[in-house]
Amino acid sequence: MPWNAACNPYTTPSTEILDFLLYIWTQYNIFIAAYCIMKEVQITGSIVLYRNDFAIVEAAVKSFLSTGLNVFLFLVDNSPGRELEKLASIDPSRIHYVFNNGNPGFGTAHNIALSHGSRFNAGYHLVLNPDVYFEPDTLEQLYYYMEEHRDTGQVMPRVLYPNGSLQYLCRKNPTFSNLFSRRFFPRFVRDLLAKKMGKYEYKDHDYLQPIYNVPFLSGCFMFLRTDILKEIGGFDEHFFLYMEDADLTRRMLQRSRTVYFPDVHVYHHYTKGSYTNLKLTWHHLRSAVTYFNKWGWLNSKTQHHQV
């Protein structure tokens, strides 16, 4: 076939050209599959985006990628526009950007990433907040801890404010009375209940020592064993925003250990948005109702022990 005929969009390609294109496509997919196998992705990660500050998310992305381990990151964007898509250009070979063109919720967006990441068959998955950053050897330490402790399904490091002060993010199972008092009681009443509230956040424990079988680990940094995460079905998509981490940790604890591991630390720009934003407060209350409808409105006993 003459060159001009082959390039004519109104000319039907010959069988030879179609066969050649099919061959190229097949070889490309074989190459990608072989690359993934050779690469042996060890950790996948997901960050859910919604109108975030670019520089803050950039720090989170670069933290995740700054490792000698083989990692792959999914950026799932619930924003109304694609302004954050350029984050994928930080490392296109290790980042996949997903634009939802809507906001299906925090947990649902992470489940989308888990679905995309299943092709890698990685041993671990990191659920990472866009406002968290950490040092280059952080993922290595968590990875090797999990490799040595096969009974552990979820681990959370020590979480610090950017100024270095501690965030108390180990918690017992939420109760209606605890959540209500923390959110709506005046300050002087909360001060009177400080000891009880402190136990909810494990303040009666040494945060420089590991804590085992914590029923509620913060969703800002959830390092998860992928096969157990798949067994429990990922995030419960009935939670739009808030409480999905309490629900997930509780279900992970039914199948494995959950561990607070303070030998490793990360930094978190913790703003507690639902305390100052009425819309976020509404989402928090709605998720609390969903949680207690699922797990019960009465106090429940928590599991926790040290070894």
Distance CA 1, CA 3 (A): 6
Residue 254 to residues 16, 125, 173, 198, Cα–Cα distance (Å): 57, 18, 13, 25
**45 and 90 both lie in a single domain:** yes
Confidence grade of residue 17 (pLDDT, cut at 50, 70, 90): confident
**122 and 157 both lie in a single domain:** no
Instruction: Tell me whether residue 105 is in a domain.
Output: yes
Q: Is the pLDDT of residue 253 over 80?
A: yes
Q: Of 100, 133, 166, which residue constitutes the final position of a domain?
A: 133
> How many structural domains is the chain composed of?
2
Instruction: Tell me whether residue 142 is in a domain.
Output: no
The whole domain housing 73 covers 14-133
What mean pLDDT do residues 44-51 have? 98
Q: Is the pLDDT of residue 299 over 90?
A: no
Instruction: Tell me whether residue 139 is in a domain.
Output: no
**Biggest distance spanned by C-alpha atoms of the chain:** 88
Confidence grade of residue 252 (pLDDT, cut at 50, 70, 90): very high
* Runs of H (alpha helix) within 167-237: 176-184, 187-192, 194-200, 226-231
**177 and 203 both lie in a single domain:** yes
Instruction: Tell me whether residue 79 is in a domain.
Output: yes
**187 and 303 both lie in a single domain:** yes
**CATH number of domain containing 48:** 3.90.550.10
Closest Cα partner for 75 from 55, 48, 57?
A: 48
Checking DSSP bridges between strand 211-212 and strand 132-133, what pairing results, if any? Answer: unpaired
Residue 30 to residues 26, 27, 117, Cα–Cα distance (Å): 6, 5, 18
Report the pLDDT value the prediction gives residue 6, as an integer from 0 to 100: 42
Q: What is the DSSP letter of 172?
A: P
**177 and 65 both lie in a single domain:** no
Instruction: Tell me whether residue 125 is in a domain.
Output: yes
Report the pLDDT value the prediction gives residue 238, as an integer from 0 to 100: 97
Instruction: Tell me whether residue 222 is in a domain.
Output: no
Name 242's Cβ contacts closer than 8 Å, sequence gap at least 6: 106, 274, 280, 283, 284, 287, 288
